Structure 1
Amino acid sequence: MKKATYFFASLMAFAGMLWLSCSKMDDYKQHLKDRKYTGKVDTVIVQPGYKRLQLALVLNNDPSISRVRVYWSNRSDSAEVSVERTGQADTARLMIEELQEGNYNFEIITLDAEGNRSISTYATGQVFGDSYVSTLNNRVLRGASLTDDGSKVILRWSSALSGEIGLHVEYVDSRGRLQRTTVSASEVVSELPDYEEASQMRYRALYLPDENAIDTFTTAYAQATLPLFERKLDKSRFRPLLLPTDAPDAYGWIMPFLWDENYGEPGFHTPPGGGLPRWYTIDMGDAVRPHRLKFWQRIDGGFVFNRGNPKTFEVWGSNDPDTDGGWQNWVKLLDGESIKPSGLPLGTVNESDVAYARGGEEFRFEGEMLPAVRYIRFKVVDTWSGEDFTHLLELSLWTRDRL
């Protein structure tokens, strides 16, 4: 009898506990049913910057959303932005300033006017600072030259590094005005029109560490001096002027090959015999003060820095050449000497010598008082091997005289 009474009491206690548990569960379900949640953020776009970042928060169409709150640093920091709904999928933007450089984890919730909140949305992002800036490198300016007419500066750049979006360039034009231009990341050759000669140009590289970045990062400025103005003489106006004492051509290598813009064979060749020096005369078509001369010597077949290529030479100028081939009406403009870069003995060259010769040898006319001349006489005083014939592949001249 006692056992039956004990069993009945236990059964009743268990039933009471079950009823209480079910009652609490029903209460919890009712609580969930009564609780209101706002719609969560659909998309988070993290836009990094310099010691700051911006969050673009794309909201769903829940019209009750009035605020968006963002937590970071394990919820020790937070910020909030108000929302004005338009009935569409609005985007709220939140700028977070004064952040240390590094990676961040963000928790984002929406709230309505009554304080009801959404389920959390999570995002990660990076903030860039001085450590990142210290890794950025400027582009290398490989060279600055002029167009043939001298009207534009041609800039040749190294390739852009990863993350670079271009170059910011500042220079002064011919009227002394500051000009600014941008060189795209894909450009390795660019032009500066209307420049002031010998002025300072400066440039710096622009970087975006992320396609969504809100700040453009830059390197320090580098400087370069723009070239002096000069223009290449129009060689289509050049003509041979054969005077009585001038050397003739030989082997079909005629004088017009000197200015045909073909830097390979054939060029101009004089016949052997007659001793040294030998000279020939060119009508440039206009009277100019020459500033620079460049010639390309014969290279292939063992001729480079050898045989009849000029070793020492003179350039003379006149506006009224002596009809008898004399020198009375001529003035010396240049003493020139061809120099082999390696300094190796005659008949021996290296790759640098050949590359230098293929690029052409350059000589400058010195002095501000040089006369403007229409005719030049190229006088070969000595050849590399001492032979009394001479040859060249191409000849170009520049002047600082403006048209």
Structure 2
Amino acid sequence: MGLTGCSEDNNMKPFSDNQTPPGQVTNIQMKPGAGSVDISYTLPDDKDLLYVKAVYTLQSGKQREVRASYYTNSMTLDGFFDTEEHEVKIYSYNKSEVASDPVTIQVQPKESPIWAVRRSMELRADFMGVKIIAENEEKADLAIQVFYKDSLDKWANMEGIYTKTVDINQTLRGLDTLTYEVGAVIRDKFQNYTDTIFAQISPYFETDLEKSKYRDGRLPGDTPERGGSEGIAKLWDGNTTAAQRYMTAQPEDGSPSSCTIDIGQTAQLSRLKFWTYPEWMASGPWPYYFRGTPRIIEVWGSQNPNPDGSWDSSWYLLSRYEVIKPSGLPYGQMSDEDKRYAEAGFNVELDPLAPRTKYIRLKQILNWEGTTWLDLTEIQVYGDNRKQN
């Protein structure tokens, strides 16, 4: 089979040369949505019809075009900022790119999703940062810009949040334990912005607990390693992206797997962060949220565990954590946001009212393949290890 190339002048010509404009769409029906309007219509009886195009102006002043092929009789007009009426012109095009006269309609969308997110948003103090909580029921593609007043009383930007997830719950760190005025603005992909939400916060102290002090705290009853595991010390070698990792065997009775770590210091723990490695797939991208990586995991703490390994009163629950894919996609699939979320590491918030802790015990309740063996690449424990008065 041979291949044909383009001519040197690379002139792109229409499919045909029909200068007769096609007919207009008729019987237009409208259904308003959040920041959008769904329209349906009857196509013109024109064998040379190629597509239908709607043209309208966004709040930013930019003209937006939405196209639908002749295989369908509907389209979604999106990107609206308010609930006012907006003029839309609808054209039919034939295969020679000749347009019909426009049909002009008035559409009235419902409120843009950014406003519901804005009303639900809270800015709270967190450990060395600000926590952003909001609901995004429409799964709108959002950017949240957060900023704070610095020591010079000037506004400084923090890292942005880019998400389509329903339950927004993220912390941006890098602040001190001072009192800050913080603010946030929500933007969608059409450059629509909310007004600013402001709050005053005083972040809590934490520090990353030095990994050089971590030790294997294996106790009777902890799960043995499986073949291919690189040893539990792999969890604190500082490498969050290496293929080498720590893995337990699968308990024969299907019970949770566990491992114990002596963090080498007594501290009031605030959170544990863990990283996983994406499973190798010959057929395509390497997915996170796969096989033995945690889906539901518990973190337990102890100051002085029973040496027989019993899950007795010497242990107290610090957290039961479920990993949620931002996209909600099925097993083995992930979005770009899912990938970014996993690469950044999973933050497990620990009970701030629990006793000071020297040992942590990870208890894998459920992994992504539906069993209980554990597969981790790296951990970092955070807390307050300052001496008590």
TM-score by length of 1: 0.46
TM-score by length of 2: 0.48
**Which of the pair has more CA radius of gyration?**
1
